[in-house]
Structure 1
């Protein structure tokens, strides 16, 4: 584990796929050198012909969308369009969004965290603390969304993550009415539209943990926007960590979730630096999408 850990921990892994990941890409995403080459060529042509959207057209960038769409160029173009539409609709939050604008809230507040290690399937695991660790008076829900948005841009840079997908743990420990109020219908709809339409990543599982009785108020807001595909990937565990461990091995989980890894003692201050190293990619990405903003 130690080698993998040091390589995964707070380090955005660029430009390589492990041999077993190449196999997963072939089996799950139809990715072979021939399919990939033809799909990149076709998507580039489709993109050049599209006047309503504006994206980079280098191979690496196109592959982000192609992997999210099983190398079907037409589907990838459609994903580019829905992503652009979302960005336009939420331009006030995401257009021109730079890493530096979020640095303080990433570092000061433990709302959004990423596990040091990947899970037993090699997937990145993000934790969103929606309970007492989140004070909406200090960090409004718009900023929580912007943080989640920023993390997904960084995750896109990892070919391993493009192929293997991501897992999210939504931790509602200590949820009270002040957080429930901040998780408004507007926020719920925006977050779910983003996950389902405008995120060129494979969201494999969403785990809800430590949610108290009051959580049913939150779920009532989210539920109408959840489509069937995502619904099948959502799992509710409450305080039953054995239930969570059916999906995420205790070996990869920290003590916070009754795993064998040490208790989480890291946060934004630890993993913000690798994000900063890729500030140029984030800056470029913040201008892309709609042809006209």
Structure 2
């Protein structure tokens, strides 16, 4: 960053400010956006302000000497750059640093990000177990809700790293929608019936890797993380990783224990599944899994500067109708194992045939219209 600012402080900045009408020093008004020294923040609700912020971010990329941005091909991809601006509330300086962090994270963790695609066998297993699940409806503030039923984790078939990879794949798909970029996400983790044996596979190195990626490197906003039914050993693990969390993240992690009424104060019952004592549709992990499958074959391959990959295949998966109940309001396990779950637990599941058409697509707008942005 310091190399960049030394360079940009001179000709590049002066040239850009001349084009956009800024001629002063120090604090200045930039439309309705404010610029205080190097800190530039714009109004995300104003299309002109958003575009001005985009132009400045492009100038920063063009003038940067940072090795993370030696490949500047993302410069011309406006939709990709807007992800970083939304993630930092159109503070251009912070968005630029987040972009650098994102590229550095990709380069540093190239091995674990290889074949990050829904066609990866272990990622499929995680998604089919609901890691993560995505609820159909948004909450009252327009945020998408991700759910995890921790007791369903079969650590003998896929690792915590695979769960993380499946989450990155999910998030990158979801932030293609600008409303998700702007309003962010809520995460609910149900730890009911999560065992001490399962907790032994919560690898500290992977947990730290997840924090580094999701908190500091990925263009996404987590507005709340809610734990319910957490046993003492999960709280102990949380106390170990808390030093790696920034103050804002720590404030947004809420521990509800068995008191679901406090969860319902944060996330309305009408969108939650019955498994969380809600009034919404029953949770089915295959819904989101099938959406990703279908999308992977319909959309163009993602640019190389994104973390996901598109891998074409000749065989397609069968339509599988499953009605899997995960957990209960009384914290009891459902001991009946469905045929679909048995397929997931098979380490060498056969290649699927035919893409499933999912009628319950996530209620997102596929276009770039900005609707109901929350603060």
Normalized against structure 2, the TM-score is what? 0.64
Moved over 6 A (4+): none
The corresponding residue for 1:285 is 306
Q: How far is the alpha carbon of 1:279 from its aligned partner?
A: 6.1
Which shows bigger deviation, 240-249 or 37-46? 37-46
The structural deviation recorded for 1:222 is 2.2
User: Is 2:116–2:307's contact at 8 Å kept on the other side of the alignment?
Assistant: yes
Supply the distance in 2 between the matched residues of 1:163 and 1:108 (Cα, whole angstroms): 28
1:138-161 deviation per Cα after TM superposition (whole angstroms, max 9, x unaligned): 111111110111111112101110
SS at match of 1:205: strand
Could you say which residue in structure 2 is the equivalent of 1:273? 293
What corresponds to 2:153 in structure 1?
A: 134
Matches within 5 A, 1:147-162: 147-162=166-181
Deviations 1:126-177 (A, max 9, x none): 11232x2001111111111101111111121011101111111122121112
- Quick check: which has more Rg, 1 or 2? 2
Q: Which residue of 1 aligns with 2:199?
A: 180
Of stretches 260-269 and 62-71 in structure 1, the one that deviates more from structure 2 is 260-269
In 2, Cα distance between the equivalents of 1:129 and 1:258?
14
Kindly indicate whether structure 1 or structure 2 has the higher relative contact order, using CA contacts under 8 Å at least 6 residues apart.
1
Taking the aligned partners of 2:263 and 2:103, their CA distance within structure 1 comes to 34
1:211 paired with 2:225, answer no
Moved more, 132-141 or 254-263: 254-263
Higher share of residues assigned helix: 1
1:91 partner SS: coil
Deviations 1:88-143 (A, max 9, x none): 2221111452332255324542332111211121111011232x200111111111
Q: Name stretches of at least 5 consecutive residues in structure 1 with no aligned partner.
A: 1-25, 289-293
Please give the secondary structure, in 2, of the residue aligned with 1:236.
strand
Q: Distance in 2 between matches of 1:274 and 1:246?
A: 35
Q: TM-score, structure 1 length as denominator? A: 0.81
The correspondence of residues 89-168 of structure 1 with structure 2, limited to 5 A, is 89-95=108-114, 97-101=116-120, 104-130=124-150, 132-168=151-187
| Segment drifting more, 241-250 vs 212-221 | 212-221
For residues 137 and 158 of structure 1, do their structure 2 counterparts lie closer, same or farther at Cα, with a shift above 3 Å needed?
same
